[in-house]
A and B are shown apart, each in its own frame.
Chain A
Amino acid sequence: MHMLLRLFVLLAVIPGLCVACGNTGSNAGKQSITVAGSTSVMPFTEKLAEHFMIDSKDTAIDVQGGGSTAGVQATINRTVDIGMSSRELKDDEKVLNRIVICHDGIAVVVHRDNPVTALTLDEIRGVFSGKISNWRQLGWVNRKIDAVSREEGSGTRGAFEELVMKGREIDDATMVQDSNGSVKEVVATDPYAIGYISMGLVDSKVKPVSINGIRPSLATIRSGKYRIVRPFLYLTNGEPDKRARRFIDYVLSKDGQRILRNEGLVGVHD
């Protein structure tokens, strides 16, 4: 019987050892900063962190996803040093220290072969609320509109609901994809589809439409004409401590902002 006991002890110890190995290694002797939240902000934070760590070798930045809401919660609970959010804070979340690192436009996109190039905000609201369901109503062929949205809880969807839907609900018949990439893929392959994605991800595979006569571009966002813009936020609980401060300062510095601009985002100083 004692053999069995020993076996159990062994089984219990092995995972412990693995965890221990994982934690040491690269981070030994370094200061570490944990950043978590919005998956829209995450890829940019990762890029910034890479550059930051080249210059400050004594700091390790751990970037995690989880979504905007999770990022806000984690910052409130102080489980992360910096939270990331791709939507504005709700009233009960406004206790947090909010730092805008850049702005991101949301583009409404259609298939390349779609002749529709301009829509009004009302028309887009109509399409996603199910009121407008045929392309004929938008001046094209007699064919159902295949609207594609994002899943409940997504920051992009949250921003789209706030900026475009303005209280109207997205119709239940709307298709749902779980990432900017899948929405783009659907719109790129289905000639009758319409969807919305982060402007940084628009490329030649899909066609952004102008809204109320304004084309989405860095210039129109900068000048404030294009209105479907959301901030990318870093959040801290109270004033950030020295380590976090250094990273945030880097992100807001010329170098940091240039990296964000190269990714198709609009910097805070623009």
Chain B
Amino acid sequence: MIDRTVLKEHFVKWVLVAFALSSLLFLFLIFAFILGEGLPLFLKVGAKKIIFGMKWAPTKGYFGIFPMIISSFLVTLGALTIGAPLGLSCAIYLSEYSGKRMKMLLKPAIELLAGIPSVVFGFLGVIYIVPLVRNYLGGSGFSLISTSLVLGVMILPTIISISFDALVSVPKTYREASAAMGATKWQTIYKVIIPSAKSGILASFILGMGRAIGETMAVIMIAGNALKIPTSLLDPLRTLTGNIALELAYATGDHRLALFSTGVVLMIIIMALNYIANFGIKRKIAK
């Protein structure tokens, strides 16, 4: 009898191990496929011509994605400019000021915001934000500023929840000590809590950046997808993810490989961002 129970325990454990490892396997497979498909073109054309090339016309032999790399970073910075102050303020309010009732209202609302599919954001962007920008600011409306606005809202849940966690994990004794020194609440937040939660807050910004740079559906709907590097906030632009999604359907041969190469560059950027974010958090824990 005991034997069977033990066996069952082992069985369950091994099943769970297998499933847990499968996510690693998937990650490995994704890496292997993207690199396997994307690297040949790097070898054939040369990394410099792809990464720093200014001209993208894959059916005519030009594979430069530099404008898209710049555009991806521009929308990400734009999104952060909008999302970071809003998100951090919300996190500070939630952790330091809000009562239980407000928290019970806000937290599920933020989770709901995170659950809204990106195509819905894109649709709302096209229907409301694009015409607003076109009518009041000029240009076609499909622009850097519209995309940044929508992405800024989309990264709010990431920024709020991670910086909230960082803020509440600041020990209560810090707050008490600060209050005992005669500091006001805002002084405590500004001088004590934010500095000690700094790495967590930065990590939230960087993970938000990762979300913004990886966003695709909403971006192709709003960004206008022009190949030129935008020279004003009202110019359209094409991101790395948008490039893959736009042209995937028709791509064959080197064109298809070029899209995988775009994927390689994107993967490296996102890996770097995640590494920075994790490094920030880990350093904080090690302290």
Contacts and interface: CB of A to CB of B under 8 A. Distances in A.
Do A and B assemble together? Answer: yes
A146 B140 contact: yes
Interface stretch (A28-36, A64-72, A197-205): A64-72
Interface stretch (B103-111, B173-181, B250-258): B250-258
Contacts of A97: none
B198 interface: no
A176 interface: yes
A173 B231 CA distance: 10
B140 A193 contact: yes
Interface string A201-234: 0000000000000000000000000000000000
A155 B245 CA distance: 17
A153 interface: yes
Given A172-B227, A175-B225, A153 B134 contact: no
B14 interface: yes
A186 B226 CA distance: 14
Interface string A167-196: 001011111111000000110011011000
A152 interface: yes
Interface string B51-91: 00001111100000001000000000000000000000000
B224 interface: yes
B58 A3 contact: no
A67 B255 contact: no
Which of B15, B55, B130, B226 has the most chain A CB atoms closer than 10 A to its own CB? B226
A171 B236 CA distance: 13
B250 A153 contact: yes
B29 interface: no
B131 A189 contact: yes
Contacts, number: 96
B2 interface: no
B118 to A, nearest CB: 16
B225 A67 contact: no
Contacts of A154: 250
A133 B226 CA distance: 14
A79 to B, nearest CB: 13
Contacts of B11: 3-4
A178 B243 CA distance: 10
B220 interface: yes
Interface in A53-71: 65-70
A190 B250 contact: no
A7 interface: yes
Contacts of A173: 226-228, 235-236
Given A7-B15, A176-B238, A153 B227 contact: no
A153 B140 contact: no
A152 B247 CA distance: 7
| A contact residues, range | 35 or more
A66 B248 CA distance: 9
Contacts of A177: 225
Contacts of B250: 39, 66-70, 151-155
B142 interface: yes
A253 interface: no
Contacts of B139: 144, 146
Given A175-B142, A176-B238, A190 B134 contact: yes
Contact of B247 (A7, A8, A65, A153): A153
A73 interface: yes
Interface string A107-138: 00000000000000000000000000000000
A91 to B, nearest CB: 15
A176 B226 contact: yes
B236 A151 contact: no
A177 B238 CA distance: 11
B249 interface: yes
A199 B67 CA distance: 33
Contacts of B246: 151, 176, 178
B18 interface: yes
Contact of B249 (A67, A171, A172): A67
Contacts of A172: 55, 67, 226-228
A152 B142 contact: no
B226 A153 contact: no
B11, B228, B250 — most chain A CB neighbours (10 Å): B250
A1 B15 CA distance: 10
Interface of B: 11, 14-15, 18, 55-59, 67, 126, 130-131, 134, 139-142, 220, 224-228, 235-236, 238, 245-247, 249-253, 255
20 contacts: A7-B18, A69-B252, A73-B252, A144-B139, A146-B140, A152-B57, A153-B247, A153-B249, A155-B250, A169-B57, A172-B227, A173-B227, A173-B228, A175-B225, A176-B238, A178-B225, A178-B245, A178-B249, A186-B142, A189-B130
- Counting from the closest, the 7 A-B pairs by CB-CB distance are A153-B250, A67-B250, A146-B140, A176-B225, A172-B227, A175-B224, A172-B228
Interface of A: 1, 3-4, 7-8, 39, 65-70, 73, 144, 146, 151-155, 169, 171-178, 185-186, 189-190, 192-193
